[in-house]
Structure 1
Amino acid sequence: MLPFAQQAALRGAFTTTKGDENSIWLFVDGYSSRTHYKDDEYRSTSGGPFTFSGNKLTVQLEYSDAHVDAVGSNETAQITLTADGFQEQDGTVWKKQATQKQELDGLWRITGRMQDDKMSRIQRADRKTIKLLIDGYFQWIAINPANKGFYGTGGGHYTFGNGKYKEHILFFSRDNARVGAQLSFDGALRGRDWHHSGLSSKGDPIHEIWSRERED
């Protein structure tokens, strides 16, 4: 577990822009994900469990679609915390987005899916789909760290309240045409599980169960 001050400083959503490329870096529950995208084009993502000590940020890569061979290794960066974010050694400035605490903030893993009108539990295995939600941003990632498999990602803004979970998509690796879509789902928290149902971005009915993977 990270020291409290460092844990609090890196928990959240951080963004930066270079030319026409946007980047977002999410940190929640000891996990990080960094994604690069243009307004209408997905570029790349990478991430995994992280530690932060002194000025050294270390990410144990569970996925990296742009550098597949790096999966399983540690990626390190020297960063300096600032009043409103942090700065990398190369001068890149990441700005922390405003805190927007919501009940769904955290690291989740899909554990159940409705099939043939029956909820089927998904057994824990190397392949997994996880979802990070923090300060009004979300990202899901389908991966298999054991064989360096990457099967897709998408993310953007989210809100949750009064039994409704809503998404505004900013990037989608499988289909850039879905950027800008706004989706609404029914959502309910039941203990450590989140029940999620509605229509997918393709219009297919879904009913999923997500469970908290860990907590800071």
Structure 2
Amino acid sequence: MKKIFFLLVCIFLSISVKPQSYIGAWERYDTSEEGEKLKSVVIFADGYQVITTYNADTGKFIYTNGGTWKSEGDTMTEKVEFDTRNPERVGSEISFKLTINDSIISIVGDDMDMKRIDSGNPGKLQGAWLMSGRFRDGEEQLRDTSGPRKTMKILSGTRFQWIAYNTETKQFMGTGGGTYTTIDGKYTENIEFFSRDDSKVGLHLSFDFNLVDSNWHHKGFSSKGDPIHEIWSLRENDYE
């Protein structure tokens, strides 16, 4: 009986001290000085993150930044790869302390609480992906993903965002995002913001998807109506 009690105590303690995971999506609502309702969403994948703010009613894009991240204890360190408000920060590292529980994440010393949206489920494409190729006229054309110019797509279990940028020139080319589903081989995006064209907000785009040798094949029609067949490769966590 004592052994059983001791075992139960050990199990309880192991569960209670299990660290909370940042992986997934988080959100926060604010009001601008002009009275606009703003929505901020952060997506954490393994080693990569993005945070974006946009008008919750119209989808008008306001700001995004992101890059790589790692945590030690309650301290998170981010290496900036893109920042639309302060591009000079690209390449720099910033560290700050966080508190986290199952439903709220907070930056210590800053009035910024974010509520968990999901923990990386149920979508089948959770992670950070890099555009690594496409098919043109039936022929596969691969691209080098190690260069400074990147198109990255970060997905939680329910949220997605793509970002095009260059870490060498610190140039930002565009972004878009919202919610997504993966059901019966169909990947469907519901666009909530699009930096290049607000008129795309509200579109629902459905694509065929499948995983081939761990690469994500993405086939359908773009927001402009052009046929696409893209290849995305899961980005490894290489934050040193």
State whether residues 131 and 139 of structure 1, in contact with CA within 8 Å, keep that contact through their aligned partners in structure 2.
yes
Any idea what the Cα deviations from partners look like across 1:67-122, whole Å, max 9, x if unmatched?
11111111233221134121122121111113323321111111111223322111
CA distance in structure 2 between the aligned counterparts of 1:17 and 1:175, rounded to whole angstroms: 23
Give the aligned partner of residue 220 of structure 2.
198
> Which of these residues, 69, 79, 87, is aligned with residue 98 of structure 2?
79
1:170 aligns with 2:192: yes
Give, in whole Å, the separation in 1 of the partners of 2:46 and 2:70: 11
**What SS does structure 2 have at the residue aligned with 1:147?**
coil
Shift of 1:57: 1.6
In the other structure, the counterpart of 1:154 is 176
Counterpart secondary structure, 2:88: helix
Which one-letter code corresponds to 1:55 in the other structure?
D
Out of 8, 12, 23, the position equivalent to 1:11 is: 23
Shift of 1:5: 5.1
Measure the CA separation in 2 of the matches of 1:209 and 1:61.
25
Distance 1:5 1:176 in 2: 42
Equivalent residue number for residue 34 of structure 1: 51
Partners of 1:5 and 1:60 in 2: how far apart? 26
DSSP-derived class of the 2:118 partner: coil
Partner of 2:13: none
* 2:85 aligned counterpart, secondary structure: coil
Matched, 1:52 2:74: no
The residue number in structure 2 matching 1:91 is 111
Task: With the length of structure 1 as denominator, give the TM-score of the two structures.
Answer: 0.92
2:48 and 2:237 in contact (8 A); partners too: no
- The answer to whether the 8 A contact 2:102-2:116 is kept is no
Distance change >3 Å, CA 133–CA 82, structure 1 → 2: same
Q: Which residue of 1 aligns with 2:11?
A: none
TM-score, normalisation: structure 2: 0.83
Q: What letter matches 2:151 in structure 1?
A: T
Q: What's the offset of the Cα at 1:54? A: 2.5
Structure 2 unaligned regions, length at least 5: 1-16, 32-36
User: 2:123 matched to 1:123?
Assistant: no
CA distances 1:129-175 after superposition (whole Å, capped 9, x unpaired)? 11111121001111111111211111110111211000001111111
- The amino acid across from 2:29 in the alignment is T
Deviations 1:12-38 (A, max 9, x none): 101001111100011001111010101
Coordinate RMSD, CA, aligned: 1.8
Cα distance in structure 2, aligned partners of 1:30 and 1:60: 10
For the 8 Å contact 1:106–1:215, the answer to whether it is kept is: no
Query: 1:153–1:5: structure 2 CA closer, same or farther, 3 Å change rule?
Result: farther
Shift of 1:215: 6.0
Contact 1:107 1:215 in 2 (8 A): no
Structure 1 distance, partners of 2:43, 2:80, is 14
> What letter corresponds to residue 97 of structure 1 in structure 2?
I
